């Protein structure tokens, strides 16, 4: 793993090694590296010479950040993993518990029509723009459908391995879930057939390795989050969907919004089918890997804040999400 940033603090070696281990395990994220870079700079600026992470030090570091508490809590979460890693070297650490705050994040909920436009744009991605075929042109049509139809987090989808896919029973095993949990996610038959076609295609081209979605530039490594975000914005533009925010709490359309969209669309479909709210909420909680229905309720509450379309738009909401992709061997 090549790093452009050079760690300089008293913990430079541990930070570098920790990121290399995460990268090798497929658990690296740009957010974790960004948090460690920030902490490294703080340690240097304050002449920290002892290999210890004290509460006062962490509190002082966070106090300099002009961000919301929910963001600080996320930064702390990134650093906690590193702190546990330090324990293996006998290095002491104290990470304070940041006050739990209500997440005021408002997701962008894609309408059914918008998602179909995204799928069509992804299916035609690169034609007339990219001179030579790259893996991304095959990755996006399939990955977008998985994220939406299964409600996966982007990080979970990117690190899927072929051994996680049970074609016979139509099941995906999520091993790299949030908080290191594992869960089983059933697939629609259409998606199962789509993945079979995709596998045949990549096998034919000799690019079928460990991961479903391999990086363009790092063979045998999964596609990176930041690369996917960049291309996702291009696809949104091609689909005629603005990336702008409507208020200060919105982040604009993002891949994670597909998960929120899945939750709301699934709930509306369940409601239409006569399933009680508490039953639908409990089922979705298990499906999404939430600890309790309360977490799922937050998704529904946030989604309803911005999604005012009526239920009739949800007729067969998932039935036509999978326009046929031409994976025929050339």
The mean predicted confidence, pLDDT, of the chain is 78
In the block, tokens 């069509």 appear at 120
Under DSSP, is residue 209 helix (H, G, I), strand (E, B) or coil? coil
Domain ranges across the chain? 12-87, 112-314
- Of 55-59, 94-98, 188-192, minimum mean pLDDT range: 94-98
Alpha-carbon distances, residue 205 vs 133, 155, 201 (angstroms)? 11, 25, 6
Confidence of residue 95 (pLDDT cuts 50, 70, 90): confident
What is d(CA 153, CA 59) in angstroms, rounded to the nearest whole number? 30
Under DSSP, is residue 95 helix (H, G, I), strand (E, B) or coil? coil
For residue 320, pLDDT beyond 50: no
For residue 80, pLDDT beyond 50: yes
Q: What pLDDT is stored for residue 312 in this prediction?
A: 37
Give, to the nearest 10 degrees, the angle between helix 30-45 and helix 69-87: 80
Q: Are 189 and 170 in contact (CB under 8 A)?
A: yes
Alpha-carbon distances, residue 58 vs 33, 49, 135, 326 (angstroms)? 16, 15, 41, 53
- Name residue 185's beta-bridge partners: 172
Q: What pLDDT is stored for residue 146 in this prediction?
A: 93
Q: Are 261 and 144 in contact (CB under 8 A)?
A: no
For residue 168, pLDDT beyond 60: yes
- Of 80-89, 161-170, 310-319, minimum mean pLDDT range: 310-319
Q: How far apart are the first and last CA of the chain?
A: 35
Confidence of residue 327 (pLDDT cuts 50, 70, 90): low
Q: What is the pLDDT of residues 5-37, one digit of tens each?
A: 889 999 999 999 999 999 888 888 888 999 999
For residue 220, pLDDT beyond 50: yes
Q: What pLDDT is stored for residue 184 in this prediction?
A: 86
For residue 164, pLDDT beyond 90: yes
Q: Are 240 and 129 in contact (CB under 8 A)?
A: no
The CATH label, of 1.10.3720.10, 1.10.443.10, 3.30.2290.10, 3.40.1350.10, for the domain at 112-314 is: 1.10.443.10
Closest CA to 32 of 67, 75, 63: 75
Alpha-carbon distances, residue 155 vs 14, 87, 168, 257, 306 (angstroms)? 24, 26, 25, 13, 25
Confidence of residue 74 (pLDDT cuts 50, 70, 90): confident
Identity of the highest mean pLDDT range in 210-214, 218-222, 309-313: 210-214
Q: Which residues of 49-78 are buried (b: 16+ CB within 10 A; e: fewer)?
A: eebebeeebbeebbeeeeeeeeebbebbeb
Q: What is the arithmetic mean of pLDDT over 183-197?
A: 90
- Name residue 184's beta-bridge partners: 173
**Any residues with CB less than 8 A from the CB of 271 and at least 6 apart, and which?**
277, 280, 311
- Name residue 211's beta-bridge partners: 161
Confidence of residue 309 (pLDDT cuts 50, 70, 90): very low
């Amino acid at each position: 793993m090549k790093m452009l940033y050079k760690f300089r603090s008293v913990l430079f070696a541990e930070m570098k090694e920790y990121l290399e281990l995460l990268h090798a395990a497929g658990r690296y994220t740009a957010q974790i590296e960004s948090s460690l870079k920030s902490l490294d700079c703080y340690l240097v600026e304050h002449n920290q010479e002892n290999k210890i992470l004290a509460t006062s030090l962490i509190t002082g570091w966070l106090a300099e950040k002009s961000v919301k508490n929910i963001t600080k809590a996320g930064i702390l979460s990134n650093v906690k993993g590193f702190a546990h890693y330090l324990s293996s070297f006998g290095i002491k650490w104290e990470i304070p518990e940041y006050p739990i705050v209500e997440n005021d994040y408002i997701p962008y909920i894609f309408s059914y029509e918008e998602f179909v436009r995204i799928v069509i744009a992804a299916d035609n991605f690169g034609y007339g723009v990219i001179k030579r075929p790259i893996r991304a042109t095959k990755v996006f049509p399939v990955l977008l459908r998985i994220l939406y139809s299964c409600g996966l987090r982007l990080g979970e989808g990117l690190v899927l391995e072929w051994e996680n896919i049970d074609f016979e029973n139509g099941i995906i095993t999520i091993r790299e879930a949030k908080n290191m949990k594992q869960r089983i996610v059933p697939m629609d038959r259409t998606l199962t057939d789509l993945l079979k076609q995709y596998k045949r295609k990549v096998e034919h081209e000799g690019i079928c390795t460990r991961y479903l979605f391999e990086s363009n530039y790092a063979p045998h490594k999964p596609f990176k989050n930041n690369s996917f975000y960049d291309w996702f914005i291009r696809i949104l533009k091609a689909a005629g969907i603005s990336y702008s925010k409507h208020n200060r709490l919105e982040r604009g359309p993002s891949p994670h919004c597909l998960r929120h969209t899945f939750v709301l669309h699934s709930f509306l479909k369940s409601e239409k089918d006569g399933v009680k709210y508490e039953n639908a909420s409990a089922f979705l909680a298990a499906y999404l890997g939430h600890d309790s229905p309360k977490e799922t309720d937050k998704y529904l509450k946030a989604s309803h804040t911005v999604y005012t379309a009526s239920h009739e738009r949800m007729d067969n909401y998932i039935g036509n999400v999978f326009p046929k992709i031409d994976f025929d061997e050339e």
